[in-house]
C-alpha cells in the first residue's frame, strides 16, 4: 500500500506466489517493485522446493542479496560451495555464477533484495510465458537475455551435508528473546526486593 509520504507498506498476503516449477523448481512473488522504491531496489520472495536446485545463473544488471528465512540451503557461488542455514545472508555481486539447492524435507523461503530494481519486469514476463502450455522455451530464453539473465547447465554439487532442517528465524531468536525476558524479570524481582 502506497502511503501519502511515499512510505510503502507491504503486508504478508498482499502478493500471491507465481508457481514456476517448470522453469525454476520454485515459486516466487514480487514483494516490492522498483516503481515503489524510486527504482533503487526490488524485493522478491522465493520458495525453493525440497529436493530441487535453482538454475545456475548470472545476473548481469543487479547485485543480489539473499536472506534464508527457514531451513537450510547449499549455495554455489563462482565455484565455491557452502551451507546456509536460516538466518544466513549472502551478498552476490553482479556477474557472479550462482545457484542454490534445498536438500531438506521442507520448502525453504528466501527473501531476495535486488539492486538496482528491474528484475521484476523479467518475472512479470516469465509468469505470462509459464502460464502458456506447452512452455515456449524460445520466448523464455529471449526474455531472460533481454533482462540480463544468463542460465547455465546444473552445477556439480559437492556433498556438504546441508540437509538439516532449521526452524524459522523466529525460532532461532526465541532463546535470545526468552533470555532477555528472564533477565528483565529477574531485575524486576531483585529491584522490588531491594525496595522492600
Q: pLDDT tens-digit profile of 89-148?
A: 999 999 999 999 999 989 999 999 999 999 999 999 988 888 888 889 999 999 999 999
Q: How far apart are CA 3 and CA 182, in angstroms?
A: 38
pTM of the model: 0.78
- Shared domain check, 113 and 157: yes
Q: Do residues 84 and 175 both lie within one domain?
A: no
Measured CA to CA, the distance from residue 118 to residue 82 in angstroms comes to 28
**106 vs 195 pLDDT, higher one:** 106
- What domain count does the chain have? 2
Task: Give pLDDT, residue 179.
Answer: 45
Average pLDDT on 47-64 reads 93
Q: Are residue 91 and residue 62 in the same domain, yes or no? A: yes
> Residue-wise over 63-83: b if at least 16 C-beta within 10 A, else e?
bbbbbbbbbbbbbbbeeebeb
Per-residue model confidence (pLDDT) at position 142 = 95
124 and 86 part of one domain: yes
> Residue 141 sits in which domain range?
18-165
* Cα-based angle 59, 75, 144 (whole degrees, multiple of 5): 25
Domain membership of residue 193 (yes or no) is yes
With respect to residue 9, please indicate whether it lies within any of the assigned structural domains. no
Rounded to the nearest 5°, which phi and psi values hold at 46?
Answer: -105, 150
Structure confidence at residue 166 (pLDDT):
60
68 with 122, same domain: the answer is yes
In this structure, is residue 7 part of a structural domain? no
Q: What cell numbers appear for 27 in the block?
A: 515459486
Asked whether the beta carbons of 52 and 105 are under 8 A apart, the reply is: no
Residues 185 and 125 in one domain: no
53: in domain:
yes
Tell me: do 49 and 96 sit in the same domain: yes
With 70 as the cut, is the pLDDT of residue 178 above it?
no
Residue 3 domain flag: no
Do residue 137 and residue 186 come from a single domain? Answer: no
Question: How many Cα atoms are found within 13 Å in the side-chain-facing hemisphere of 62?
Answer: 23
Higher pLDDT, 14 or 149: 149
pLDDT band at residue 175 using 50, 70 and 90 as cut-offs: very low
> What is the pLDDT, as a whole number, of residue 149?
95
Q: Are residues 103 and 159 in the same domain?
A: yes
Amino acid at each position: 500500500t502506497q502511503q501519502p509520504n511515499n512510505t510503502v507498506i507491504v503486508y504478508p498476503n498482499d502478493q500471491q506466489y507465481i508457481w514456476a516449477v517448470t522453469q525454476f523448481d520454485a515459486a516466487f512473488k514480487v514483494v516490492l517493485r522498483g516503481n515503489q522504491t524510486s527504482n533503487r531496489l526490488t524485493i522478491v520472495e522465493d520458495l525453493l522446493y525440497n529436493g530441487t536446485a535453482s538454475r545456475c545463473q548470472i545476473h548481469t544488471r543487479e547485485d543480489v542479496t539473499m536472506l534464508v528465512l527457514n531451513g537450510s540451503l547449499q549455495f554455489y557461488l563462482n565455484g565455491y560451495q557452502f551451507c546456509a542455514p536460516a538466518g544466513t545472508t549472502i551478498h552476490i555481486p553482479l556477474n557472479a555464477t550462482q545457484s542454490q539447492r534445498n536438500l531438506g524435507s521442507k520448502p525453504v523461503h528466501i527473501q531476495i533484495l535486488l539492486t538496482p530494481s528491474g528484475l521484476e519486469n523479467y518475472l512479470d514476463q516469465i509468469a505470462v510465458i509459464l502460464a502458456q502450455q506447452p512452455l515456449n522455451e524460445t520466448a523464455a530464453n529471449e526474455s531472460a537475455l533481454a533482462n540480463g539473465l544468463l542460465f547455465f547447465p546444473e552445477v556439480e554439487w559437492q556433498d556438504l551435508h546441508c540437509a538439516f532442517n532449521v526452524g524459522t528465524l523466529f525460532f532461532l531468536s526465541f532463546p535470545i528473546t526468552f533470555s532477555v525476558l528472564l533477565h528483565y524479570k529477574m531485575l524486576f524481582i531483585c529491584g522490588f526486593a531491594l525496595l522492600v
